[in-house]
Amino acid sequence: MIFTPATWEVTPGYVNYDEAVARMQARAAEIHAGTADELVWLVEHPPLYTAGTSAKLEDLQEPGRFPTYKSARGGQWTYHGPGQRVAYVMLDLTRKHGSFPPRDVHCYVRALERWMISTLADFGVKGEIRQGRVGVWVVRPDGGEDKIGAIGVRVTRWVTWHGLALNVNPDLSHFGGIIPCGIREHGVTSLHDLGVKASMEEVDAALKRHWDVIFGLGDEDFCLRDAG
């Protein structure tokens, strides 16, 4: 199939979570029907917690602190809020994207990880993946690890929705209301927490550059099943 680039959209301000989910579902159905282009949608949300399909009630540490939502994405609890770039990705996985094969959800998740890692590298931050821990991590000087980017995806009739959340400059104390992704032994961080005072616009520009390489016509072989 001939490659055509996804539509790229950035919404200013804060997007209500329910509205975002409704739009993703509608767009995914249109992509499946062949009536809409694939979409990369960049948003910020007001402070909120979402529970993925594997979330445990006991991992919500502070009920009532922020609104909570059940989410159709995979994974456990996560936080969204100002200063965090959320990228909702709606792709038809029956098509070829970058170097990974069609209908391969594992490789699609690897591509999302690589997208964040390549973006972080533009700011001098080394992002890494870990076996059994979806998302992107950074190693602290003391050898500990903090999560800087989360991934949670849903695939419906081979069309993806939901996506990733990259911490640019959120209030990290807001993560204290949950056990992020069910992982108690590691923390969370952000670009600003690491001393990188990048703007959201600069991060968006880096995301766009690396999207074109990883999901476009690039040939980088990042889909390693034993990675991490």
Evaluate whether residue 179 is within a structural domain: yes
Per-residue pLDDT of the chain (228 residues; tens, 9 = 90+): 445 679 999 999 999 999 999 999 999 999 999 999 999 999 999 999 999 998 899 999 999 999 999 998 988 899 999 999 999 999 999 998 888 889 999 999 999 999 999 999 999 999 999 887 878 999 988 988 999 999 999 999 999 999 999 999 999 999 999 987 656 667 899 999 999 999 999 999 999 999 988 998 655 665 654 443
Our count of domains for the chain comes to: 1
Place of tokens 């990048």: 198
Per the domain annotation, does 203 fall within a domain?
A: yes
Residue 27, CB-side half-sphere exposure with 13 Å CA sphere: 22
**Is 33 within a domain?**
yes
CA 136 – CA 104 distance, rounded (Å): 20
C-alpha 143/C-alpha 55 separation (Å) is: 28
Q: Provide the residue range defining the domain that includes 187.
A: 7-217
Residue 26 lies in a domain: yes
Residue 223: inside a domain: no
CATH code, domain with 153: 3.30.930.10
Entry pTM: 0.92
Question: Is residue 154 classed as helix, strand or coil in its secondary structure?
Answer: strand
Name every residue whose Cβ is closer than 8 Å to that of residue 114 and which is 6 or more positions away in sequence. 214, 220, 222
Rounded to whole angstroms, the Cα distance separating 156 from 171 reads 33
Predicted confidence (pLDDT) per residue in 144-163, tens digit:
899 999 999 999 999 999 99
3-state secondary structure of 170: coil
- 226 in a domain, yes or no? no
Instruction: Find the distance separating the first CA and the last CA of the chain, reported in whole Å.
Output: 32
From 55, 109, 116, 181, the catalytic residue = 181
C-alpha count within 13 angstroms, C-beta hemisphere, residue 133: 20
Q: Quick check: is 107 catalytic?
A: no
In a domain, 20, yes or no: yes
Q: Is residue 85 part of a domain?
A: yes
Tell me if residue 196 falls in helix, strand or coil: coil
Cβ(41)–Cβ(208) under 8 Å? no
35, burial (CB in 10 Å: exposed 0-12, middle 13-18, buried 19+): exposed
Beta bridge partners of 85: 166
